[in-house]
């Protein structure tokens, strides 16, 4: 039986590891879809986020390390979201490359949501273990 945070982290792996292949980040003015594979920065950030989620699942016995990896993953997804916002606001005005935002741009938001839920569950487990240790 898995703990609750494992399911949340599995959702993060699916969101950052599989869904970017399906959903485009945006559509340019010519109607061509832009996927994350077309830019090495997005490939590395999505890959790093997936790797951090997987490592966090694998370090289930070290709750504090799991919590820190969740925080780092949140920061990484905030950076990814910031890059998307920068790309759409600044670069689209100069070159008009982004004409329509895709669902893929919102994937870091869902990832951050699941990471927050996972970290809440990790914190709850840690508090439970501390309360049991106090009783001994």
Q: What is the pLDDT of residues 119-134, one digit of tens each?
A: 999 999 999 988 888 7
Q: Which of 97, 105, 99 is nearest to 35 (CA)?
A: 105
Say which residue the tokens 């792996």 belong to: 13
pLDDT in tens, 42-76: 999 999 999 999 999 999 889 999 999 999 999 99
For residue 98, name the pLDDT band (cuts at 50, 70, 90). low
Burial of 37 (0-12, 13-18, 19+ CB in 10 A): exposed
Most confidently predicted of 28-32, 62-66, 88-92: 62-66
The pLDDT tens digits for 9-19 are 999 999 999 99
Q: What is the arithmetic mean of pLDDT over 31-39?
A: 84
Look at the pTM and tell me if it is higher than 0.95.
no
């Amino acid at each position: 039986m898995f703990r609750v945070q494992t399911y949340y982290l599995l959702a993060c792996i699916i969101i950052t590891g599989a869904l970017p292949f399906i959903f485009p980040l945006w559509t340019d003015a010519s109607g061509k879809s832009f996927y994350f594979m077309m830019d090495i920065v997005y490939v590395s950030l999505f890959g790093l986020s997936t790797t951090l989620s997987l490592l966090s699942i694998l370090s289930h016995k070290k709750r504090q390390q799991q919590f820190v990896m969740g925080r780092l993953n949140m920061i990484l997804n905030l950076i990814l979201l910031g890059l998307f916002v920068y790309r759409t606001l600044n670069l689209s005005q100069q070159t008009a490359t982004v004409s329509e935002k895709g669902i893929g741009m919102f994937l870091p938001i869902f990832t951050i949501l699941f990471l927050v839920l996972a970290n809440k569950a990790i914190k709850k487990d840690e508090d439970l273990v501390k309360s049991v240790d106090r009783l001994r």
